[in-house]
Structure 1
């Protein structure tokens, strides 16, 4: 009989997946599937703990949807889901996703590949009635940033009529977030957006969002701009907006973040010393394991490299800072953008004076965003670059999710004493 981890609602998702996998697979089979030593799996069983980044590899061993909804610590929905970076963080804490919406078909393909089974992925959220969405504890959304029209609001003000968020936000995708919150009244939400949301449209966009969530919908809202460089070797500042239906002790400062500079490109670049993991789902698509080298197609052509150098020199002469970003193993990269597929100029890997630099491979982009190597990339390089450039830093989401977790567990619905984690 297989040894089964004693996993309860508060266990990590990876441990729960292992517990289920052990009921139908031998430890040696699991080890081969994950590319680890069998002794590693035995240690996980003994310690009843599994590193979070193995969750998705373990999930693929299961024949049906997991986790079991009745055993979840909390439920959540994933709006504007992209490729599931926010979901990953909350699922690892024991949450169960009950609804997903993502309009882009290629992102849907990547999402479905990495979250097999379960509910269908809904497309255009504007066409989904809020009443048709399952009840949930947490709403997650990386919604697009759009300007709000002030014409209707100004007219109602002039006429002395009351107006609400539907007047101010109708026609924007934030309206769909607001109408779902109004209908379903989740215990909490997490919204993610670009740093410039605060200053967008001279500050009016963020003001409407804040007033809608706090004044109109009655949630207790906090926000913080967090740089992904605390968790990965990439400067990537994003605003995180957290809200709770009831007063809580939530505090962005309760859990210290790792210091910047602790992560460098060496962590995410393919290893040419023979230690690069051989991922069966990647094969030699990005890295040639027989020659221990990155595939040549990622090295810039002479023509493109000459163009980028000329472009940078032209702007330097004008006193501008535009140009390519060259990184080494000791660097922290610029922000990976959705346009990276065009020329890769914001993050080019130095390959020595005698060779042109190269783009990151999609696998390296996945690592740069904090996705584990078990994450599958079923789309073309161009689509993959767009998807990772539009995604979230998983470590940032995991950090905030951990801060939110005490307020989300089933036995912690009432306001509690201030929470403080001890610094190590």
Structure 2
């Protein structure tokens, strides 16, 4: 495989790399601290250039030259669900990202993070580095992009920063123009839908677990390698849970569940958390797929099939790992490594491949 080269930092299972390889980029280094995610990355893109370990320990003299550096430092410190603590050690890892940029001297770099990163104090420090510090050789262009606007069947916002080298580009490389919209204009297309990704899959998964399989990565025996369809397994919810699910229509949530079926914490809280115990809509994008999408109390993760008063026309279960991966825009034949909860974390933490591909397409047009 030839083409412009990429280094993927905090690579996770490789969502960004999926998008860039679709545009002909060649990954030459992937760095990831989580062993399960690193193994999934290696299974799909090659173990030879996968580095499993602490990015702080990666030596400067082993950092290769690359055309593009991509990646997203862990976002938990900035997330609405996180500590929002500017001193959280996880919020300092973007400085390691800058170290790689400084050594690899790419023409372009892409940094992605959660939506609120653009309003964080650390983001202002990032801008200061571009003004007179480690990134002073780069123009910066940034904004919050919605994955659904780029052909992903998911309403997932991400902060994207594109840095382009000043001695090669007189002006910054702009963020990609949206290609899809809720209300399309001119050449735009309608948002992709949940139906376009998961319709036709078995409504009642045949199994409740993945096949027995073990592969060695980095000298460690790990569950896998699993094919995408191996992740289409079900769960065994309690009858109380099933009784709750059948009351929730598409787009609905916990407020549709009768009081006598609600836990006390929900009965006593009449406002907030509107998407929990929610059901997806067939003909709309999903909401954000988080790392615990297999728990309906965490968000809008019930299967979209539902007809009022027709239990035979209701699919009263959460989406499967496979369905979640497709809503995250992973290929159907993507390979996975790890136990169930770790694969779910990989899926939920990933950048949707379609969004990454739109960014890669924009950058490729400008590489010189």
Q: Same fold (TM over 0.5)?
A: yes
SS state of the match for residue 191, structure 1? Answer: strand
Work out the CA distance in 2 between the residues paired with 1:214 and 1:283. 44
Aligned to 1:105: 35
Over the aligned positions, Cα root-mean-square deviation in angstroms equals 3.1
Closer/same/farther in 2, CA of residues 326 and 304 from structure 1, 3 Å limit: same
Tell me how far 1:77 sits from its aligned partner.
Answer: 0.6
Aligned to 1:15: none
Tell me how far 1:171 sits from its aligned partner.
Answer: 8.2
Which of these residues, 37, 45, 51, is aligned with residue 121 of structure 1?
51
Closer/same/farther in 2, CA of residues 317 and 140 from structure 1, 3 Å limit: closer
Q: Deviation digits for residues 245-274 of structure 1, max 9, x if unmatched?
A: 223455536644222352111112251589
Q: Which runs of 5+ in 1 are unaligned?
A: 1-66, 151-168, 288-294, 413-424
Work out the CA distance in 1 between the residues paired with 2:181 and 2:17. 25
SS state of the match for residue 100, structure 1? Answer: strand
Closer/same/farther in 2, CA of residues 285 and 206 from structure 1, 3 Å limit: same
Matches within 5 A, 1:52-201: 67=1, 72-145=2-75, 146=77, 147-149=85-87, 172-200=92-120
Closer/same/farther in 2, CA of residues 123 and 344 from structure 1, 3 Å limit: farther
Aligned to 1:396: 355
More divergent stretch after superposition (345-354 vs 393-402): 345-354
1:257 aligns with 2:187: no
Aligned partners of 1:270 and 1:364 also within 8 Å = no
Aligned to 2:303: 349
Closer/same/farther in 2, CA of residues 312 and 228 from structure 1, 3 Å limit: farther
Which of these residues, 368, 372, 383, is aligned with residue 327 of structure 2?
368
Work out the CA distance in 2 between the residues paired with 1:92 and 1:126. 29
- Greater strand proportion: 2
Q: Deviation digits for residues 151-175 of structure 1, max 9, x if unmatched?
A: xxxxxxxxxxxxxxxxxx9982111
Q: Deviation digits for residues 281-305 of structure 1, max 9, x if unmatched?
A: 6497455xxxxxxx5x346432334
Work out the CA distance in 2 between the residues paired with 1:317 and 1:149. 32
Which of these residues, 111, 122, 125, is aligned with residue 208 of structure 1?
125
Q: Which runs of 5+ in 2 are unaligned?
A: 78-84, 183-189, 206-210, 212-225, 245-253
Work out the CA distance in 1 between the residues paired with 2:340 and 2:201. 21
Q: Deviation digits for residues 384-414 of structure 1, max 9, x if unmatched?
A: 2111100011111111111111232xxx2xx
TM-score, normalisation: structure 2: 0.73
1:377 aligns with 2:336: yes
Work out the CA distance in 2 between the residues paired with 1:228 and 1:300. 31
SS state of the match for residue 198, structure 2? Answer: coil
SS state of the match for residue 94, structure 2? Answer: helix
- Greater helix proportion: 1
| Number of residue pairs aligned between Structure 1 and Structure 2 | 306
Work out the CA distance in 2 between the residues paired with 1:407 and 1:283. 34
Work out the CA distance in 1 between the residues paired with 2:27 and 2:111. 16
Work out the CA distance in 2 between the residues paired with 1:94 and 1:244. 19
Work out the CA distance in 1 between the residues paired with 2:24 and 2:126. 29
Tell me how far 1:316 sits from its aligned partner.
Answer: 8.5
Work out the CA distance in 2 between the residues paired with 1:171 and 1:286. 32
Work out the CA distance in 2 between the residues paired with 1:319 and 1:268. 32
Relative contact order (alpha carbons < 8 A, sep ≥ 6): 1 or 2 greater? 2
Aligned to 2:286: 333
More divergent stretch after superposition (372-381 vs 265-274): 265-274
Tell me how far 1:127 sits from its aligned partner.
Answer: 0.7
Closer/same/farther in 2, CA of residues 315 and 242 from structure 1, 3 Å limit: farther
Work out the CA distance in 1 between the residues paired with 2:268 and 2:284. 22
Work out the CA distance in 2 between the residues paired with 1:328 and 1:94. 34
TM-score, normalisation: structure 1: 0.64
Work out the CA distance in 2 between the residues paired with 1:128 and 1:110. 20
Aligned partners of 2:293 and 2:319 also within 8 Å = no
Q: Deviation digits for residues 68-88 of structure 1, max 9, x if unmatched?
A: xxxx33222110000111112
Q: Deviation digits for residues 2-53 of structure 1, max 9, x if unmatched?
A: xxxxxxxxxxxxxxxxxxxxxxxxxxxxxxxxxxxxxxxxxxxxxxxxxxxx
Aligned partners of 1:299 and 1:357 also within 8 Å = no
Aligned partners of 1:298 and 1:360 also within 8 Å = no
Tell me how far 1:205 sits from its aligned partner.
Answer: 1.6
